Structure 1
Amino acid sequence: MAPYRRGLGQLVEDVAACVAIYNSRPQGMASRLGGLSPKEALELKIEATGFEARTPSEDVFDLIFSRPETRAVTQSSVKIDNRIYHGPVLHRMMPGEKVEILLPLRNDRGQAWVNLPGRAPERIELAPTFAYGDRAGARYQAGLEAASNR
């Protein structure tokens, strides 16, 4: 099969035009739409049900479109793809405890969620990286250890 000769941008425009034609063209009386166009049928259904579209927050979107991975907790953290994640939920867990981590499928925003049975997922974040000998790194690590010891 040969590629579309008019280019990707034109292909997108041509497909959108075909969909627009389909959505505005009345269907047969014997069809499920009973002579209405798909657009008319949708508008009537929206009016009849009072439907209102909702847009989820970025966090909810990432939770909906995430993949689960099981990891063991070590030093109040989990390691995923050679990256360390921390969060308050991990301080309450024992070393070696297995947890399900939900990783967003879209571009990395430096966060994931711990999915515990019977509870809302709790967010964890990518640990910052520090240069060797940076005192801020030592303070960060000390804060994690203090939280874990509590």
Structure 2
Amino acid sequence: MQLRHERTLLAPQDGTARVSCMAWSASGARFAVCTADRVVLLYDEHGERRDKFSTKPLDAKYGRKSYVVKGMAFSPDSTKIAIGQTDNVVYVYRIGEEWGDKKVICNKFIQTEKMSSSCPRLSSQLPSHCDTHLLCVTREVFC
């Protein structure tokens, strides 16, 4: 396999613009990048940034810096994205079919442990907890 650098999507920086996770949609038409400042940047298949939205903490009283995004996965139709966070929650955001559609939380799953990592597998996402349990986000979660 040969890799070739096409372009830089996000300029390298120290601190706040660091990438915490990323995910491709099943169709390859969308690419999501979550930065360390908890903002999800959405790119098209040509690498052009088309949209962005901020993630939300489980409880607003703890503030935006109370969690880190550890994993993301697109729904099979690329209209929703599941986001696993260290504040013990997996949010499902409806991002819409068109660029610029309103981004809203359409589902949330409270967890007993913080998310520690994620492992994409076909149309599922397997975020793992610190206690080594796995949470499998499947097609039914996105419905």
Q: TM-score range by the shorter chain?
A: under 0.3
Computing the radius of gyration over CA atoms, which structure comes out larger, 1 or 2? 1
Higher strand proportion: 2
Higher helix proportion: 1
